[in-house]
Structure 1
């Protein structure tokens, strides 16, 4: 989970559940402040993680994620009064954007020429209502170019594991056909990764990377469906300060 380059001058990292201070069932690197975990432990985990990535702990933006399609530009952290939204973007160097997950998809965007990065939390509702296309559009309106962007679609519940009722699959596929899936057991499912990839392609983002780990299958990651109550991992993205 060491930082890697998403695009020239832009770094990202995806955490796992290990290396923090939280006790079971949030053990141990729980970064989710809306869980029932001890909040001081969550803050300590966030501090430890930021320092591990070479980031200032007070220069990380955390969203109050509510499964919306709301996007906002940020110039710094909000602190305890973060608005309810599920995507943010910035042009501020060294300001890390974090998207939490535990079956929902964290999605990161980077335009190295515009020196702009974005992060979204895209669960079932956010995917169907278009949080990722909204983020692409917001960044493009400010001067980014979708064709120059690199996207990273992070770990999430895969289409072979994300079982849903047949009516939910039908209603979801009516909005975004690519999410229609079937589990290994032959039951109705949703493939959010396929849906998000299709949305990015339609938005003009052609360079899409995947961390295709399934949160339900991979016990190094938190999974709400597998283990609730449980913690949250995070995907971070930031503009590396120029020398």
Structure 2
């Protein structure tokens, strides 16, 4: 099976892809295109899967991070090896380096300022989102010469609101930050609520002044054939899960 990444018309002219789980060589829980070195998958299979992604993009190298649910951003000037920096976003103005973020329900965000020749890739779970990882990525892109009024930001497959049930302490954390955040929660069952992660991120990026922000509309939890999902694996009692990669390159 060939790779079948989702692409965004808004990022046309920039090599990118929100890669699905299709087209790799991993087996079992990790079938097929698991690109997560931090999983329990065979390291050789993960390496081959990542090589396939790099080849699909025509990249000299695919880099990813040791993600820690932070608002930390790395400016990439050259590829690194297996010793991945701890952060949750990357920016670069260097051609040929594919910036890849790994997700399995969290939101991958790909950024581009075509005119400046600056791109970014961000991993945003709820902790990173409320800590401002998207805004920190925009700041880092501007330091490389981008202008947020030209930046396009696209969210890829992530957990949708209908699948993201949270407890009252989660809601309180967001309302303590800003009572207006109540609009990103819908009523759930047994005193729980459902959180709109992509909606929250879109609102933050639009408020930050990007030229355009969108979401591909794909829910990782509800489509097991195409996407890995941490929450779905947990609900099924599975011991581990694969990681999707979303990547962008100049």
Answer whether TM exceeds 0.5 for this pair. Answer: yes
Show the counterpart of 1:210.
215
SS of the residue aligned with 2:248? Answer: strand
Which deviates the most, 72-81 or 183-192?
A: 183-192
User: What is the CA distance between 1:209 and its match in structure 2?
Assistant: 2.5
Show the counterpart of 2:50.
46
Cα distance change on mapping 1:86 and 1:107 into 2, 3 Å = same
Return 5+ residue gaps in structure 2 as ranges. Answer: 235-239
SS of the residue aligned with 2:108? Answer: strand
Cα distance change on mapping 1:69 and 1:212 into 2, 3 Å = same
Return 5+ residue gaps in structure 1 as ranges. Answer: none
SS of the residue aligned with 1:25? Answer: helix
User: What is the CA distance between 1:232 and its match in structure 2?
Assistant: 0.7
Q: Distance in 2 between matches of 1:132 and 1:99?
A: 13
Alignment of 1:2-13 (within 5 A): 2=5, 4=7, 6-7=10-11, 9-13=13-17
Q: Distance in 2 between matches of 1:214 and 1:192?
A: 11
* Contact 2:108-2:246 at 8 Å conserved across structures: yes
Deviation per CA, 1:84-128: give whole Å up to 9, x if none: 000000001121100111000000110011100000000011111
Q: Distance in 2 between matches of 1:3 and 1:129?
A: 27
SS of the residue aligned with 2:58? Answer: coil
Show the counterpart of 2:237.
none
User: What is the CA distance between 1:202 and its match in structure 2?
Assistant: 1.5
Q: CA RMSD in A?
A: 1.8
Runs of 4 or more, structure 1, over 4 Å off, are: 2-6, 183-186
Show the counterpart of 2:204.
199
Show the counterpart of 1:231.
242
Q: Distance in 2 between matches of 1:178 and 1:79?
A: 42
Q: Distance in 2 between matches of 1:165 and 1:81?
A: 36
Q: Distance in 2 between matches of 1:9 and 1:74?
A: 21
User: What is the CA distance between 1:178 and its match in structure 2?
Assistant: 6.1
User: What is the CA distance between 1:6 and its match in structure 2?
Assistant: 4.6
Alignment of 1:60-99 (within 5 A): 60-99=62-101
